[in-house]
Amino acid sequence: MSNELPSKPRMLWNYLKAQGRLARHLLLSDEEVIIPEEEQEERLNICYDCDYYMVDDDGVDTCSDCGCPLSEKAERITEHCPFEYWPGDREWKEYEQEQGEQSEEVE
C-alpha cells in the first residue's frame, strides 16, 4: 500500500503502455473504448474504498500503484485495476493477451 505516486520513469512507462493498449484496441476491435457510465461508477466506487486511492497535488483522483488519473482509467475498456479489483478484470486480461497475440500477426 502506498499514498505516494510511482517514480516518473515508471509513470511514463505505464502511460506509454496504456496508450499502446488503446492504439491496439482502436486498430483491432470494433468495441467502444468508453465503457457505460454505470460501469465507470462501479469501478470508481471500488477505487474510493481502496488503499491505493489518493488525490495528487493537483487535486486529481489517482491510483498510487500505477499513477494513472482514475477518471480516465475508469472510463476506458483498455484499462484494468493492477490488482484485479474491478469487475471483469480477469476477462479483460485474457482479452488483452488474445489481442496481443493477434497484433503480432498485423503487418
Q: In the complex with ligand SF4, which residue's Cβ is closer, 87 or 102?
A: 87
Tell me: does residue 6 bind ligand SF4 (CB under 6 A).
no
Residue 3 or residue 97: which is nearer to ligand SF4 going by CB?
3
Rule CB under 6 A: which of 35-54 touch ligand SF4? 46-47, 50, 52-53
Residue linked to cell 494513472: 68
Minimum distance, C-beta of residue 51 to ligand SF4, in the bound complex (Å)? 7
Lookup result for grid cell 470508481? 44
What DSSP character marks residue 55?
A: E
Instruction: Tell me which long-range contacts 42-51 makes (C-beta under 8 A, separation of at least 24).
Output: 42/86, 42/87, 43/74, 43/81, 43/86, 43/87, 44/70, 44/71, 44/74, 46/81, 46/85, 46/86, 47/74, 47/81, 50/85, 51/1
- Does position 82 bind ligand SF4 by CB under 6 A? yes
Size of the site for ligand SF4 (CB under 6 A): 11
Which residues are near ligand SF4 by CB under 6 A?
46-47, 50, 52-53, 63, 65, 81-83, 85
